[in-house]
Amino acid sequence: MRIAVILSLFFQGRFDPLSLHLPRNDADYLSKRVAAIEDTSGRFLGSGFFVSLDERPRWVYLATNFHVAGRSGRVIAFVNGHSYTVRPFVKDSIADIVLMTIDVRQRNASDSFGDPDSPASETPPPSFSLPATVQRSRFILDRSLLWPGMFTVLSGYPFGAGLDYPYSPSLSFGRISRMDGQDSMIRIEGILDLGSSGSPVFTWVSSDAGERVRLLGMARSFQVARCLSSQAGDTLVVQSGLYEIVPAWLIYKVLLKADSTVMAFISKRNEEEQ
């Protein structure tokens, strides 16, 4: 019956399987912002993505799950052929979010951009360039724009993705399966591999500027994986067909907290200098 419906739509011109792909400009957008995360010993931890409030940000943060890097010290983020040393700055363990700040003076590992005693207070050297970010305007903050069945795309580095991970994140398509009424959970029907925790999940929203890829949230695999593992009696779930994400509006709240913390520090320092 399902095949007959698809064939009917195909011959009517309403179903085109070749159109179900990620546009090149969207793929380029993701590859410049999604990062693979390792600790300083080279052990792969998970995925993440760079975020900011503004189009030309002074402060850039790496967003990932708290369970991926929230308890770490310095870690290394690889994105678009570049590496950045980052460290935890603002954490929300309940929402499973950590925002990490970049060490702009990469040559001196002991002098960090984002140190709790000196957050975002240093000026990058001329040779240093900040990574591209997912800006506030790309965050979906209104849940009324979402509904079950919407197509999604996850971009991350499952299993570390080998030697190519500084350049090319993997993509996985899915759709919204369920949303709760507490603004705290969105469940996605799709493939999630081990190592994809912290990956951004996007969807498409139409606006005056046309259809644009927008941030839906961040993959949080471990809760669903634990549930499936318990039911199956296994000790490890490598791949899940149903996973939860941290909604973009919760990430936005932590992003606002990070920026306000930086501004408060700078204001206090300016007062002391006067």
Q: Can you list the domains of the chain with their CATH numbers?
A: 34-134 (2.40.10.10), 137-252 (2.40.10.10)
pLDDT at 262: 83
23 pLDDT band, cuts 50/70/90, is confident
Residue 17 Rama label (left phi>0; alpha psi -120 to 50; beta): alpha
Residue 223 confidence (pLDDT) above 80: no
pLDDT at 163: 55
H or E segment and range at residue 95: none
Taking alpha carbons only, the member of 91, 88, 82 closest to residue 113 is 88
pLDDT at 126: 52
Residue 161 DSSP one-character state? G
* Residues ≥6 apart with Cβ < 8 Å to 23: none
251 pLDDT band, cuts 50/70/90, is very high
Instruction: Choose the weakest-confidence range: 15-19, 81-85, 154-158, 220-224.
Output: 15-19
**What is the model's pTM?**
0.79
Residue 255 confidence (pLDDT) above 90: yes
Tell me if 162 sits within 8 A of 75, measured CB to CB: no
Token representation of residue 91: 């954490």
Taking alpha carbons only, the member of 264, 35, 222, 209 closest to residue 134 is 35
Residue 238 DSSP one-character state? S
pLDDT at 25: 87
Instruction: Choose the weakest-confidence range: 11-15, 61-65, 204-208, 240-244.
Output: 11-15
Residue 228 confidence (pLDDT) above 80: no
Residue 219 confidence (pLDDT) above 90: yes
Higher pLDDT, 273 or 225: 273
pLDDT at 271: 74
pLDDT at 166: 54
